Amino acid sequence: MRSLSRSPPRPGAGGHSGVLFTLMKCVPFAIALGVLGIELSPAHHLVTGPVLTTTPALAALTMGPIGTLSAAAVALAVNVTTATYNQAWGTQLVFGNFLGLLVVSVTSVILSNAVRTRRQGELDQVRRIAVAAQEVVLRPVPARLGPVRAASLYLAAGTGAQIGGDLYEAVSTRYGVRMIMGDVRGKGLSAVRAVAVALGAFREAVHYEEELPEVMNHCAAALRREAAVPGAYAQEVLMEGFTTALMAQVPDEHVVQLVNRGHPPPLVLHQGRVQTLMPASPLAPLGLEDLSAGLPAKPESFPFLPGDRLLLYTDGVIEARNRDNDFFALPETMQGIRASTTPSEFLEELHQALLRHTGGHVADDVAMILVDRVDEEIGKQIGAAATSTRDS
């Protein structure tokens, strides 16, 4: 049984509706061109004014006020062209055509604007509800966790109102600081349900499982149990869904231990240079265990020294594109941020750079966790300051 999540759209499922909607947008302009062809042909004696008048109203169904005005402008240009070509200026027919077009155009623009305003208000309300639900599941990580300072950032996609499938958490345990970054494929209720299940299993297992791979196995088992609930998820979701997950552990030693199940590899900023922590043997995501020859019993270890910065992120960061279709250069951006910034300031600068790259619009949800390995002396000072604050 594969782990639950929303399945990807079936090929062509969303494409057909998109093509149909585009064709509907072209209908008003096609009508205007058809009327122009008739008026410039020997069949110009046909009365085409009422047909041309419908173009702004049809545009208002599929386009906003600007699109409706464009259709009205095209219809007006056709009216002027045909009246001049047929030498019909001053006739009642031409006057009626212009008057009808004016009335329909004004009405269509007003209605289009009202409908767009109402729809935007409804979408904003649903987005606020979605964000509130997301914040219940994804809580900000504490600023101080054992030997590290930490910060998290979640940025919802700019389009749509569905809850995303990104997940993250950071917990201080007796084994060290343990973190998870994951991505349930898809959006919607099935995705956020999988997020809640995976995070619930992680938050429980991190405190009593000594080995990090066992924590990952607990998350996979929890997802399988949830998927086995009769009728809880559509068959398509169960067959095609999966979840990528990355777990990291920062013990007292100057290393970071990783278990990566199909997730983008974390990045370490060491002395101004970014290093990618690639797994030695790639593992299949949760829900696709059948594709893996065997799961590791021990995590992989990488150096993580005082002053280093570790970034965990979802694919929404590295797959963000600009107008030229270029991907966001995450390592180069990290190297350009000042070393004196705090983790929260560092993530905010990444956030602003990402928005500049995409023009203020991200197509996919973005989640990031940044942790700083703190020098032992600094750590003691921070701990003493925190204790003093609590005592006062």
Identify whether the C-beta of residue 104 lies closer than 8 Å to the C-beta of residue 163.
Answer: no
Identify whether the C-beta of residue 68 lies closer than 8 Å to the C-beta of residue 108.
Answer: yes
User: Which pLDDT tens digit goes with each residue over 187-205?
Assistant: 667 777 888 889 999 999 9
- Sign for the CA dihedral angle at 187, 193, 197, 202 comes to positive
Contacts of residue 290, defined as CB under 8 A and 6 or more positions apart, other chains included, come to 284
DSSP 13-78: HHHHHHHHHHHHHHHHHHHHHHHHHHHTSTTTTS--HHHHHHHHHHHHHHS-HHHHHHHHHHHHHH
Closest C-alpha among 159, 169, 151 to residue 130: 159
- Tell me how crowded residue 165 is: count the other CB atoms within 10 A of its CB: 28
Q: According to the model, what pLDDT value does residue 354 have?
A: 93
DSSP conformation class of 324: T
CATH topology of domain 139-391: Phosphatase 2c; domain 1 (3.60.40)
Domain boundaries, the chain: 13-128, 139-391
151 by DSSP, 3-state: which? strand
pTM above 0.85, yes or no: no
Q: pLDDT 10s per residue in the chain (392 long)?
A: 334 443 444 444 445 667 887 888 888 888 888 888 888 888 777 777 788 888 888 888 888 888 889 888 988 998 888 888 887 787 888 888 888 888 988 998 898 888 888 888 887 777 777 667 667 778 889 999 989 999 999 887 755 545 667 899 999 999 999 999 999 876 667 777 888 889 999 999 999 999 999 999 999 999 888 877 776 665 555 555 788 999 999 999 999 999 999 999 999 999 999 999 999 888 889 888 777 767 777 999 999 999 999 999 999 999 999 988 899 999 999 999 999 999 999 999 999 999 999 988 888 888 999 999 987 655 445 444 444 444 44
Q: According to the model, what pLDDT value does residue 383 have?
A: 44
Q: According to the model, what pLDDT value does residue 170 have?
A: 96
Residue for token digits 């008739």? 38
